[in-house]
Amino acid sequence: MREKPDASSIPPALQRVAITLRTIGGISFWLQLVLGVISGVILIFASFSSSFGRQANQTASQGTGFGIFFALCGLVTLGVGAYFAFRYTRIARELRASSAAGRPSKAKTLDTIRLGLIVNMVGMLLTILGAFATIGSILAKSFSQFQGALTAIDPGRFVQPADLFVVQANTNTIAAHFVGIAASLWLFNRVNR
């Protein structure tokens, strides 16, 4: 069983870094996890409602399909980003080790934070591409709607609720990636001092 390290044997600057990593890493992990789960549920619902709509109407827009694909890619990278946020809390635990040999180096810690930052930036890019595809599809549908007498109604020409669900999921995922980016930048600044 591991003994708790004596707080006096750890330098105060290292204690502050460990506390910051644990706190910010934990907050970032839970926010990314909650927003990611909400986005995942919304995307599952949107995928099912979109697939049922396509069975009824074969002229459904491809933009929403691309939006869902990129949103799923953004969610996968969000999962990796949440892992890095969790990893920050593990690094904080390792930094509080009583022996200096068991502690990760400053360079290793900064590399881990940098990699977490890159993952969240790539995830945000993928999610933004998904949002562009979905919003472009919604915009095209809204322009194709005509004002006036309804002759032959084609439901695929109208904005569907699934389209708006994908926009909501993308927005939540972008917010989660922003949390990861902000946390990584904050930690990078604190550890690099």
DSSP letter at 148 equals S
Cα–Cα distance list, 186 to 25, 84, 134 (Å)? 10, 14, 32
DSSP letter at 98 equals S
Helix (H, G, I), strand (E, B) or coil at 45: helix
Q: Determine the pLDDT at residue 56.
A: 40
Q: Average pLDDT of each block of 10 consecutive residues along the chain (193 residues)?
A: 58 89 96 96 82 46 76 95 96 85 88 96 95 87 65 64 86 96 94 85
Residue 32 to residue 169: CA distance in whole angstroms = 13
Q: Determine the pLDDT at residue 147.
A: 58
Contact 32, 124 (CB under 8 A): no
Residue 161 to residue 138: CA distance in whole angstroms = 10
